[in-house]
């Protein structure tokens, strides 16, 4: 009584794959064997992880005796700020990538439309 | 849970028996918290603080990545399009660990070598206690911050898998900085709560920096 399952013949958005959402015709399509995580995404993650380790700690040791003349408080604060700068850089990269993905998707769509008109 | 009660009860009764025995046999003044604090080497306090700082921070970051990573993988089964935006939460968790590393490095700069009377003067006690409590502050803040960031990131991963339009989705119009800013703020919208929880770690870091700022290096003679 209390926990009745919701029965509906409609598929929720969770039950649909991307292909279903984009085109409902894909009955005879081949299943994609491309890797789920593209190489450039992995490289970006690794590069930013490396930068996240090297830049704050490196800046601490570079600046503590040159710029801040031994004041470790300022050098530590600078390191923390630089860690956040790297973080913001990653967010910006992610956003640009998201946009370029959409551009590509639109181009493909237009090409398909053109082909459809030509036929 | 029951074992905890047994443990706490056993420990309390043991301490009570030992304390009463010492009190009734004429050595009650051995229960001297101040003497205990003073007899522990300041090096022990400082080193424990550094260890707590880096250790708890890494535990928090690892916990966050553990929650977020399992969510990304689980959601990826249904929506296998892992892009850079899905991995932002991982980098957020990494920042928490880096905070702990930075603070441990800053603290360890205060630990120099000294012996004899210099080790037990006021400066050394202050440095030892300051580093201990600053390390505990930073470590505790980063532990909770890492968990908070991880849970938010897990939620973001699940939300993105369920509905990809939650992240930015607009007609592309590049090169105009104002429009770019609007897009950016839209993109950040889903990350706002994650940013808030990652700021929590910064609070601990600031206080840790302030606390260690006044501490002199071990062996400094005034």
Domain residue extents for chain B = 1-31, 39-212
Provide the pLDDT for residue B169. 45
Task: Determine the distance in angstroms separating the CA of A113 from the nearest CA of chain B, rounded to an integer.
Answer: 18
> A99: nearest CA in chain B?
B172
Q: Does residue A30 sit within a domain?
A: no
Provide the pLDDT for residue B171. 46
Please give the class, per CATH, of domain B39-212: mainly alpha
Q: Does A41 touch chain B (CB under 8 A)?
A: yes
DSSP H stretches of helix in chain A: 18-22, 39-66, 72-118
Instruction: Report d(CA B84, CA A96) in Å as an integer.
Output: 10
Q: Does residue A76 sit within a domain?
A: yes
Q: Does A97 touch chain B (CB under 8 A)?
A: yes
Q: Does A36 touch chain B (CB under 8 A)?
A: yes
| Residues in CB range of B198: below 8 A, 6 or more apart | A87, B92, B95, B96, B145, B149
Q: Does A13 touch chain B (CB under 8 A)?
A: yes
Looking at the predicted structure, is the pLDDT value of residue A76 above 80?
yes
Per the CB < 8 Å rule, is B83 touching A41?
yes
Selected for mutation to probe chain A from B57, B82, B91 (highest A CB count within 10 Å) is: B91
Task: Determine the distance in angstroms separating the CA of B124 from the nearest CA of chain A, rounded to an integer.
Answer: 18
Place of tokens 């839209």: B186
* Domain assignment of residue A110, given as a range: 39-116
Task: Determine the distance in angstroms separating the CA of A84 from the nearest CA of chain B, rounded to an integer.
Answer: 7
Q: Which residues of B touch A90 (CB under 8 A)?
A: 84, 88, 91
Distance in angstroms between the alpha carbons of the first and the last residue of chain A: 57
> How do the pLDDT tens digits run along chain B, 222 residues long?
678 889 999 999 999 999 888 888 888 777 788 888 888 899 999 999 999 999 999 999 999 999 999 999 888 887 777 777 788 899 999 999 999 999 999 999 888 888 877 778 888 899 999 999 999 999 999 999 999 999 999 988 888 888 766 665 444 455 566 766 666 666 677 788 888 899 999 999 999 999 998 888 887 766
Q: Does residue A93 sit within a domain?
A: yes
Place of tokens 């606390």: B211
Residue B76: other Cβ atoms inside 10 A: 16
Residue in B9, B48, B81 with CA at minimum distance from that of residue A98:
B81
Tell me the CA distances in angstroms from A34 to A90, A92, A112, B86, B128, one per residue in order. Answer: 25, 26, 21, 18, 56
| Residues in CB range of B74: below 8 A, 6 or more apart | none
Residue B150: other Cβ atoms inside 10 A: 29
**Model-level pTM?**
0.77
Provide the pLDDT for residue A16. 59
Burial environment of residue B147 by CB neighbours within 10 A (0 to 12, 13 to 18, 19 or more) = buried
Instruction: Considering only the C-alpha atoms of chain A, give the largest distance between any 2 of them, rounded to a whole number of Å.
Output: 74
Q: What is the 3-state secondary structure (H, E, C) of A69-94?
A: CCCHHHHHHHHHHHHHHHHHHHHHHH
Q: Does B109 touch chain A (CB under 8 A)?
A: yes
Provide the pLDDT for residue B86. 80
Number of domains in chain A: 1
DSSP string over chain B: -HHHHHHHHHHHHHHHHHHHHHHHTT-GGG--HHHHHHHS-HHHHHHHHHHHHHHHHHHHHHHHHHHHHHHHHHHHHHS----GGGGHHHHHHHHHHHHHHHHHHHHHTT-----GGGGGSHHHHHHHHHHHHHHHHHHHHHHHHHHHHHHHHHHHHHHHHH-GGGS-------S-HHHHHHHHHHHHHTTHHHHHHHHHHHHHHHHHHHHHHSPPPTT---
Task: Determine the distance in angstroms separating the CA of A88 from the nearest CA of chain B, rounded to an integer.
Answer: 10
Q: Does residue A111 sit within a domain?
A: yes
Selected for mutation to probe chain A from B54, B97, B102, B177 (highest A CB count within 10 Å) is: B102
Instruction: Report d(CA B82, CA B87) in Å as an integer.
Output: 8
Q: Does residue A70 sit within a domain?
A: yes
Provide the pLDDT for residue B75. 87
Q: Which residues of B touch A36 (CB under 8 A)?
A: 76, 80-82
């Amino acid at each position: 009584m209390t926990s009745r399952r919701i029965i509906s013949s409609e598929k929720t958005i969770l039950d649909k794959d991307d292909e279903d959402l984009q085109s409902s015709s894909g009955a005879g399509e081949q299943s994609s064997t491309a890797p789920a995580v593209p190489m450039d995404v992995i490289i970006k993650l690794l590069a930013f992880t490396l930068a996240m380790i090297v830049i704050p700690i490196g800046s601490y040791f570079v600046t503590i005796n040159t710029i801040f003349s031994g004041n470790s408080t300022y050098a530590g604060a600078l390191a923390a700020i630089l860690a956040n700068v790297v973080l913001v850089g990653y967010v910006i990269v992610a956003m640009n990538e998201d946009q370029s993905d959409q551009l590509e998707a639109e181009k493909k769509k237009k090409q398909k439309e053109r082909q459809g008109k030509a036929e | 849970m029951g074992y905890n009660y047994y443990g706490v009860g056993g420990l309390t009764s043991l301490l009570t028996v030992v304390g009463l025995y010492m009190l009734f046999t004429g050595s009650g003044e051995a229960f001297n918290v101040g003497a205990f604090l003073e007899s522990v080497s300041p090096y022990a306090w400082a080193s424990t603080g550094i260890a707590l700082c880096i250790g708890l921070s890494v535990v928090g970051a690892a916990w966050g990545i553990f929650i977020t990573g399992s969510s990304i993988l689980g959601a990826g089964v249904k929506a296998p399009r892992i892009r850079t935006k899905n991995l932002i939460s991982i980098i957020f968790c990494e920042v928490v660990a880096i905070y702990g590393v930075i603070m441990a490095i800053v603290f360890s700069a205060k630990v120099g070598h000294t012996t004899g009377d210099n080790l037990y003067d006021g400066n050394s006690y202050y440095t030892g206690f300051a580093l201990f409590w600053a390390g505990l502050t930073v470590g505790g803040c980063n532990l909770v911050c890492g968990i908070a960031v991880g849970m938010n990131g897990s939620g973001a991963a699940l939300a993105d898998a369920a509905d990809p339009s939650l992240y930015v989705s607009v007609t592309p119009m590049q090169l105009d900085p104002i429009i770019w800013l609007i897009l950016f703020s839209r993109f950040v919208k889903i990350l706002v709560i994650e940013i808030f929880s990652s700021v929590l770690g910064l609070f601990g870091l600031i206080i840790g920096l302030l606390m260690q700022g006044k501490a002199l290096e071990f062996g400094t003679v005034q």
